[in-house]
Amino acid sequence: MTTVSDPSQRILELAAALDFRAAAPLTESLLAMRGTALTIDASRVERIGGQCLQVLLSAQQTWSADDAALSFTNLTPGFVEGLRLLGFSEADFTREEMPE
């Protein structure tokens, strides 16, 4: 994962393999950017596992509670297919709020 800072918008580029080994570094990166407007770029994602999905779902809830902007961009077919296999859809990551 790499991050690119811009004063108006921060971008977090996700790793290609979002498996259990990526969950802790993803969590740390997100915590470091908490409270700022953030775009999560999924353009490199080839696969996503349950642990990283949980981290991303938690980030959505956290950013919402903090009243900070969080968006996802460049969702790859691998990312979307992984979401589908885990019971979610692309729409869950492209709208403002998660379903209750």
Query: Above 60 in pLDDT, residue 29?
Result: yes
Burial of 95 per CB tally in 10 Å (0-12, 13-18, 19+): exposed
Q: What pLDDT shows up at residue 3? A: 47
Q: Confidence band (pLDDT; 50, 70, 90) for 9?
A: confident
- The structure tokens listed for 16 are 């290609």
Average pLDDT over residues 3-10: 58
